[in-house]
Amino acid sequence: MAAMMLRESRASGRPSGPEQCVGLADALRAYTVNAARQDFAEAWKGSVEAGKVADLCVLDRPLLGMDPHGITDAEVDLTVFDGWVVHER
């Protein structure tokens, strides 16, 4: 998500195509509801709702308001896959 938000070149550190940068909400949707819609699977995945598969992760810090450069420093506290806890820190 940080790459989508920053679009920084590894060579220069400057944004490559800054007009293509997206905000956090758009980046999250790209990985969740929009990805499910692309797979024609929005009825059973892509958002946290009753009746849908429970695939999610809980991070050690909120991403809202965070500098996008710090997103890669966030650690995963909990991962749920198909309703089962598969990782817990």
What is the tens place of the pLDDT at every residue in 33-78? 999 999 999 999 999 999 999 899 999 999 999 999 999 999 999 9
- pTM, full prediction: 0.81
Under a CB-based contact definition with an 8 Å cutoff, are residues 76 and 57 in contact?
A: yes
Residue of 56, 49, 58, 59 whose CA lies nearest to 82: 56
Q: What's the pLDDT score for residue 43?
A: 96
The pLDDT confidence band at residue 1, using thresholds 50, 70 and 90, is: very high
Q: How far apart are CA 3 and CA 77, in angstroms?
A: 22
